[in-house]
């Protein structure tokens, strides 16, 4: 009788682990469609000029706020993208109506990146690559490049 209870307990634990791990539901591989598009590629950094924020005078420690756009006057968390991730190399700002958050792109001369941000001037086939400094962003400049895009199907 004890052996039977132990066997049932082990079986229940194994079934629970399989459900938690997702093994019983099959594979979750996502299919991605690979396309190549000629795009305008520019660079930006977390500074005031690139991301449109300013200091709001007269408040405690002069917090940064949006200088323009739909969030004008609202508090801005500097160095954080539109989807809430930390801005770092590999972050791309794009038109999310065309390239949703999480879209992966390969930009020649920059490498792989992922869409996590938006911009008021970023529309259609124009993307903005994040750089750690204004100097690097300016050095990148403005280029028309063939970009590899992995779109989820």
Q: Can you list the residues of the chain whose pLDDT is less than 70?
A: 1-30, 48-78
Residue 14 pLDDT: 56
Given the candidates 3.40.50.2300, 2.40.40.10, 2.40.50.100, 3.40.50.11540, the CATH classification of the domain at 31-152 is 2.40.40.10
Residue 112 pLDDT: 97
Domain boundaries, the chain: 1-27, 31-152
Q: Where are the alpha helices (DSSP H) in the chain?
A: 2-21, 48-51, 134-140
Asked if residues 73 and 65 have their Cβ atoms less than 8 Å apart, the reply is yes
What is the rounded CA–CA span in Å between residue 91 and residue 81? 8
Residue 99 pLDDT: 94
Residue 130 pLDDT: 92
pLDDT in tens, 75-117: 556 677 777 788 899 999 999 999 999 999 999 999 999 999 8
Residue 67 pLDDT: 44
């Amino acid at each position: 009788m004890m052996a039977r209870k132990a066997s049932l307990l082990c079986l229940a634990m194994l079934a629970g682990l399989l459900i938690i791990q997702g093994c019983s539901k099959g594979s979750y591989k996502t299919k991605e469609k690979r396309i190549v598009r000629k795009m305008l590629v520019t660079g930006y950094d977390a500074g005031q000029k690139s991301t449109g924020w300013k200091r709001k005078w007269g408040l405690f420690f002069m917090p940064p706020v949006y200088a323009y756009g739909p969030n004008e006057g609202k508090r801005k968390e500097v160095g954080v993208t539109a989807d809430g991730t930390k801005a770092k190399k590999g972050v791309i700002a794009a038109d999310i109506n065309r390239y949703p958050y999480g879209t992966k792109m390969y930009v020649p001369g920059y490498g792989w990146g992922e869409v996590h941000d938006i911009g008021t001037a970023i529309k259609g086939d124009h993307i903005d690559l994040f750089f750690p400094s204004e100097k690097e962003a300016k050095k990148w400049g403005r280029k028309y490049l063939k970009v590899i895009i992995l779109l989820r199907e």
